[in-house]
Structure 1
Amino acid sequence: MKPTAAQKETLTPREGTFLMMVAQLVVLTCIVLAATVGGLSWQWTLLLAIPPVIGGALLSRVWGKLPR
């Protein structure tokens, strides 16, 4: 049975998780750059950066459990 066009275009769970991890890094970088340009203290920058860091850590745990 041949895969349909929709099945060929679907991401595997591993590819999707990798893209989410890259997105988390982009978000973290944007937060740090915006906080730096905006003149926020390092404490506020750290506070803003906590959610993407936690998200990235959780995604990396999922990444390790996915089949190759």
Structure 2
Amino acid sequence: MRTVKIRTRAEIAALREAAYLAAWPVHRQMEAQQDVELRADPTKRDRMLADFAAIRARFPYPED
């Protein structure tokens, strides 16, 4: 018999948060947002959102 550990939503949320901050520290997130608001340049924000989507795909929430 094999035991499978399923992470809780809280554990996955913590993993996602750590991954988000490792990939895009807060100062870089703010810079990306300011580029959109002040310069109308969404390049960094779009890259950040794509990275966040990849992180969500890597750490999906369990099916209830």
Q: TM-score, normalised by structure 2?
A: 0.48
Larger radius of gyration: 1
**Greater fraction of residues in helix:** 1
